[in-house]
Structure 1
Amino acid sequence: MDHEPFLEIRDATVWRGETRALRDFSLTLRHGESVAILGPNGAGKSTLLKLLTGEVRPEANPQTVCRLFDEELWSLEELRHRIGVVMPEDVARFEREEVARDVVLSSLRGAFGRTRDMRFSAKDRAAADAAISRLGVAHLAARAFGTLSSGERRRFLIARALVHDPEVLVLDEPSTALDFTAAMGLTSVMRELLDHGHTLVLVTHHPGEIPPEIGRVILLEKGGVRVDAPKRKALKNELLSELFGLPLRVTWSDGWCEVRPG
């Protein structure tokens, strides 16, 4: 399965209301190849995510191709098991008193939070506990979700995304609202997932949070792909300065990129 496409988009146009969010958009993402996707606000990142998770479809045109896992028609239920997604706004979907373990368990029913009529098998509970342990938060599983730190909540959300053992994990702006310590902890989690062979799609505003293990970078601009290249070719002074509209200077250390005003 490695290196076969799980997402193929060709000449796609996607409208969000009256706005053409993606235009003549083409991109291929493959199993076994983790990527980082960057771009300023309005570049098309959120719309691409919605294509990837099956929430939107492109305009119907003869030349347009949009395939997920080699299928042009898909069910959201199936995609939930094949793509794990973690978004910053997911934190707000749970009641403050929700038990942290139930945040993970409820993913097995496609729900956000435990409801009274949900029943879980021993296999379900074992899968949830394994995902929680993997993220290093088993000692917090009985705590109320709202009492956890922002970094701890993010780890439970990643466990929630991993409980199905998905083929692809998508992290959207994973460091949003995290303090320095929590952000560093989350980076360690990402690197461990990459080391264990997970296919990771990292969507971010910050080149500095791209782990060294991710070698491909896609820069979006105005609803299209500006650059799709190896990391050191994509993250250059001129390209990033033009993309974000201010002078920027890129330096490298041990595979990490640091971007500062130029």
Structure 2
Amino acid sequence: MGEVFLKLEKVNVWRGIDARQPALREVSLDLRTGESVAILGPNGSGKSTLLKLLTGELRCEARRGSTCRLFDEELWNIEELRHRIGVVMPEEVARFDPDELAFDVVLSGFRGAYGRTPFMRFSRKERVKASRAVDRMEVEALVERPFAELSSGERRRFLIARALAHEPQVLVLDEPSTALDFAATTELTRLLRELMTHGTTVVLVTHHPAEIPPEMERVIALKEGRVFADGRKRGVMTAAGLSDLYGLPLKARWLDGWCAVRPA
């Protein structure tokens, strides 16, 4: 495994001045490059807060005995983080102008901008990197199409290409199958598995155990702002463990590294 890119020790994170308790409470964990990880939990468990902490959008409570370090730094530059961590969130789809070309969407990742790409200049090196990312997501035939005319699955692939264009050390995916049909989800999963097979470190944020691919051996389960479980997925995603995590009786069955979950 590679370096620790996120180190948390007894971290509290608050969301809003009127919050009565932290959204993350006494959280301790390490994430390393070279190890793809799934962050699992129900709505309200703290997944989005952990994601925003990972991308630098939120800071933890400053107190004695607490540590939050990204790439071994306690103070970080958002622009630098953008080039080290690629992030894909479902809500990004709505941030682009409907007539913006799909390839311009990918280029916009170099500036962290939405909707103003035609007024920007990009180097040949940046365009080559963007083309390489498009090829990896197998959407090169669609680069001249307006972003709004693409299917949901195609738009999601271009957003991932956008995140990959600056060759980050880590790719973070927040609920990547949201609003996708079965076929689009299946194709997206195939491409993500290929990325991991070829060495991309992926952090998958999800509330569906069945979305966690075989290549991800570690699962961090969150519940009510705390680390509920952290370890190898077959140890974390048991029927008893998942039932406790989601608060209802569940059965779990394993096949070829996938976990199928249904009501007991």
Same fold by TM-score greater than 0.5:
yes
Give 2:9's aligned residue.
10
Give 2:130's aligned residue.
128
Please list, as runs of the form range in 1=range in 2, the aligned pairs for 1:5-154 lying within 5 A after superposition. Answer: 5-17=4-16, 18-19=18-19, 20-154=22-156
Give 1:177's aligned residue.
179
Superposition deviation, residue 141 in structure 1:
0.3
Matched, 1:192 2:194: yes
Matched, 1:247 2:232: no
> Are the aligned partners of 1:102 and 1:114 in contact in 2 as well (CA < 8 Å)?
no
> Are the aligned partners of 2:11 and 2:24 in contact in 1 as well (CA < 8 Å)?
yes
Matched, 1:156 2:158: yes
Amino acid at match of 1:56: L
TM-score, normalised via structure 2 length: 0.97
Identity of aligned residues (%): 64
Task: Provide the secondary structure at the position in 1 that maps to 2:65.
Answer: coil
> Are the aligned partners of 2:107 and 2:117 in contact in 1 as well (CA < 8 Å)?
no
Determine the C-alpha separation between the residues in 2 that align with 1:197 and 1:115. 30
Determine the C-alpha separation between the residues in 2 that align with 1:72 and 1:57. 10
Task: Provide the secondary structure at the position in 2 that maps to 1:24.
Answer: strand
User: Gaps spanning 5+ residues in structure 1: where?
Assistant: none
Determine the C-alpha separation between the residues in 2 that align with 1:125 and 1:9. 36
Determine the C-alpha separation between the residues in 1 that align with 2:207 and 2:64. 34
Superposition deviation, residue 116 in structure 1:
4.3
Task: Provide the secondary structure at the position in 2 that maps to 1:16.
Answer: coil
Determine the C-alpha separation between the residues in 1 that align with 2:3 and 2:104. 34
- State the Cα deviation string for residues 66-105 of structure 1 (Å, max 9, x = none): 0000000100000000000001111111111110000000
Superposition deviation, residue 113 in structure 1:
2.8
Superposition deviation, residue 243 in structure 1:
1.2
User: Gaps spanning 5+ residues in structure 2: where?
Assistant: none
Give 2:234's aligned residue.
232
Determine the C-alpha separation between the residues in 1 that align with 2:57 and 2:119. 27
Determine the C-alpha separation between the residues in 1 that align with 2:208 and 2:112. 30
RMSD: 0.9
Runs of 4+ in 1 over 6 A off after TM superposition: none
Superposition deviation, residue 168 in structure 1:
0.3
> Are the aligned partners of 1:34 and 1:214 in contact in 2 as well (CA < 8 Å)?
yes
